[in-house]
Structure 1
Amino acid sequence: MPVLAAAIGFVTKVVAIEMMFRPIEFIGKPPIFGWQGIVPRRAARMASIACDTMTAKLISPGEIFARLDAERVAKEIEKPLLDNIEEITRQVATQFQPGLWESIPEAVRKLVIGRVQKQAPTIVQNIMESIKDDIDSVFDLKDMVVTNLVRDKVLLNRIFQEAGVKEFAFIRRSGIYFGSIIGLLQMITWAIFRFPLIMPFFGLVTGWFTDWLALKMIFNPKHPVRYLGIFEWQGLFLKRRKEVAAAYGALIAKEIITPHNVIQAVLRGPMSDKLFAMVQKEVQHVLDSQTSIARPLLVFAVGSTRYQEMKRVVSAQVMAALPDTMLYVEDYAEDAMDIRNTLVTKMQELSPEEFEGLLRPAFEQDEWILITVGAALGFIVGELQLLMVEHLTH
């Protein structure tokens, strides 16, 4: 009986952990008949909670961008940006007035392109300063994090599994330890009373209690407590928070809040229209100030209205070229932003209550499901145990 109870405890823990993460997508007939792992099913909520904690306690968009030097960014992307400006200028001029660009003397064309190119670094610096001054209007960190994690539920699973690898190992082992103890009590009770319901009852208790106790021991107590004056205990997850912080922060910095993802979110995210307005303003200002030689000819050839439209097209093409152009700045941005060390350091400074709030609330409301499943499995095994005992005794 103690051996079987230990097996029940172990199996119910393995099942509970699997149910947290698998399957990735719902299997069955929604919304009731079937199952989807708790973490993937709550992906949006979990990502939202994690992001709220990160932005409130750990890192802010303003802090990230404040570390970028606008002049250095301009220097990093200078060459691809200059190449793009020359190509964009040719394409737009040809589009709006076929033959016009070719009819302009080569010296004038070079002068126009040269003047715009000369101002390109200034454009980039001005745009970077505008972004840093009003980052919240062009970058939504929460939308970026939630979008990435909802789209990649496997990654979301990895975050929890890698951050809590030792806790999940403890949960599995605890089923054996606690199950054996309950099995001993079951054996003594059966030897005394021989009452048939003892088997399924103890199976249910083993499945329920071992799941409940293991989860409690992971997160409680939040601070070290000495019991019976003999041994001290603190929730494993909280006791190991420096190690968990290192794993969690490294994974978030490597997979989610990366320079590439941040730059793409700024350029293509839900607030990119405001960035486009910044780009358009800067580009149009430079075009007006630096094309004074050719401007009368351009206005005469294409008309004032189309000239304004041409400036907007130039701005749009510059904006379209930025994602590829900004690839050249990612290595510098990774060093300058230093997101990993920032996350790890600040996570390790969180109080136990704040640290628990980073991961647990996201799936806490579904813990009862895991405990209930453990109890049901334990009850079923208890019934099978009873049938086996009755079969052997007859």
Structure 2
Amino acid sequence: MSFDLFHFGGDTWRYLSMPVISAVVGYITNVVAIRMMFHPIEFVGLVRPYLGWQGIVPRKASKMTGIAVDTITESLITEAEMFGRIKPDEVATEIEGPVLVLVDDVIDTVMSRHHAWLWSSLPDGLRATLKWRLRAQAPEIVASVTREVQDNIHYLFDLKSMITRVLVREKRLLNHVFLKTGHDEFVFIGRSGAYFGFAFGLIQMLVWIFWQPWWLLPAFGVLVGLATNWLALKMIFNPKRGRRIGPFRIQGLFFKRQNEVAADYGDLVADHIITPEQIVAEMLDGPYGDKLRALIRREVDSAIDHAMRNTRTVVDWTLGADDYERLKTEAIDEVIAELPAMLARLTGYAERTMAIRQTLVERLQSLTPHQFEAMLRPAFEEDEWILIAVGAVLGFMVGWFQLIVVFSSVFNDHFGSLW
């Protein structure tokens, strides 16, 4: 087959299309491979896991979650560190106003519910004195509970369990973590597919000018699909430490962006995973919620007895010891019921004091390359072969397309006309 580089006829355009098509194949195969890593969230197909597909990250959510949890709790921050930064007296001051209002409301509610006539008959000064004594105990209750929580944090709060529950409950969040922190790497994979594909396409074109076996185009399609994904992954994670080659400094893109990735990861975790709201929910509704309530119940019970110590004889004579205990239990139940609202008022203070975002970013930036790689590489490592194989299959199909449509004369010479 004759070929004249300086005569732009039909054959010339077919040849010149080869690096362009190869670049498109490289780009599309890489983008499709990335897409298949994260989507669909749920399995789509006929028979799991063979006839259908589920994104690699969602499919391995348990393992990915475990890696994320271990990275955060073993290398970045612990529950003891977070809660150790809280000052009991500051907590008491932070919610003093709402707590004092709560004390008044609980006393009025419980007494009016069971002894309305007696309560309303008491002189205003006596009612005010009772309230004052109980209100005086409130800041100490808050500070004492805070100290108890700090001293027994490992029995009252499990950071690993909280992170796991958040990520399992919100499947899309795990995807978001990987997509956000690896955004530039995924863009690079797509673009590099085009660059590498174009380079392979030039080689393919030069070979095809002088040698045209029918299998060359499908074979080059496979090569482009394989090599572009493989090279992109290698360039992201290698070398881990920067190396000087003449005037150039070579380093894996992921490690070169460590400070930037650390900021993105820290923001994501602080905004969506280890948040004051999630911490409060875990402490109240998690597996140790009953222990926290028991601790608060004990502290409030002791504080009420302390406040009423000078009037206990009169109270027992007026109400009876059993009724006093019943009223006290009901008052404590009212306080416990208001816990979510009280703790919600501490979210701003907790966010400032725990300094979760700042701590995560600083620790991430100081990780060794091997530790840092463990944040994102597991999303690729075990199933890299799938991403590369997808590229190979798509490249193979496009190679046949080139042979059948673009260079149909070669196809017809070996297989006959399809139409």
Same fold (TM over 0.5): yes
Alignment match, 2:173 = 155
Distance (Å, rounded) in 2 between the aligned partners of 1:364 and 1:101: 71
Cα deviations by residue, 1:367-386 (Å, 9 ceiling, x for unpaired): 22222212111111112222
Residue number among 48, 63, 66 corresponding to 1:31 in the alignment: 48
Residue number among 44, 55, 72 corresponding to 1:54 in the alignment: 72
1:282 aligns with 2:299: yes
Cα deviations by residue, 1:198-219 (Å, 9 ceiling, x for unpaired): 2222212211221122112111
Alignment match, 2:92 = 74
Contact 2:284 2:292 in 1 (8 A): yes
1:211 aligns with 2:229: yes
Residues 117 and 363 of structure 1, relative CA distance in 2, 3 Å threshold: farther
Cα deviations by residue, 1:253-303 (Å, 9 ceiling, x for unpaired): 122222222233223222111111110110110122222366456656776
Matches within 5 A, 1:375-390: 375-390=392-407
Distance (Å, rounded) in 1 between the aligned partners of 2:254 and 2:197: 22
Contact 1:44 1:149 in 2 (8 A): no
Distance (Å, rounded) in 2 between the aligned partners of 1:283 and 1:348: 44
Residue number among 335, 343, 346 corresponding to 1:329 in the alignment: 346
Residues 308 and 47 of structure 1, relative CA distance in 2, 3 Å threshold: farther
Distance (Å, rounded) in 2 between the aligned partners of 1:36 and 1:26: 4
Deviation at 1:102, TM superposition (A): 4.3
Matches within 5 A, 1:195-344: 195-226=213-244, 231-292=248-309, 295=312, 304=321, 307-344=324-361
Distance (Å, rounded) in 2 between the aligned partners of 1:306 and 1:191: 101
Residues 306 and 369 of structure 1, relative CA distance in 2, 3 Å threshold: farther
Q: Which runs of 5+ in 2 are unaligned?
A: 1-17, 413-419
Cα deviations by residue, 1:39-69 (Å, 9 ceiling, x for unpaired): 3333343232112111111111111111111
Distance (Å, rounded) in 2 between the aligned partners of 1:299 and 1:34: 73
Deviation at 1:10, TM superposition (A): 0.3
Contact 1:45 1:362 in 2 (8 A): no
Report the AA paired with residue 96 of structure 2.
Answer: E
Contact 1:149 1:155 in 2 (8 A): yes
Q: Secondary structure at the match of 2:86?
A: coil
Alignment match, 1:91 = 109
Alignment match, 2:362 = 345
Q: Secondary structure at the match of 1:23?
A: coil
Across the two proteins, how many residue pairs are aligned to each other?
Answer: 393
Alignment match, 2:24 = 7
Q: Secondary structure at the match of 2:367?
A: coil
Deviation at 1:304, TM superposition (A): 5.0
Alignment RMSD, CA only?
Answer: 2.5
With the length of structure 2 as denominator, give the TM-score of the two structures.
0.85
Alignment match, 1:176 = 194
Cα deviations by residue, 1:157-187 (Å, 9 ceiling, x for unpaired): 3322222222111111110111122223333
Residue number among 135, 140, 152 corresponding to 1:134 in the alignment: 152
Contact 1:218 1:235 in 2 (8 A): yes
Matches within 5 A, 1:100-111: 101-102=119-120, 105-111=123-129
Structure showing greater radius of gyration is 2
Distance (Å, rounded) in 2 between the aligned partners of 1:223 and 1:55: 25
Report the AA paired with residue 197 of structure 2.
Answer: G
Distance (Å, rounded) in 2 between the aligned partners of 1:363 and 1:126: 48
Residues 96 and 208 of structure 1, relative CA distance in 2, 3 Å threshold: farther
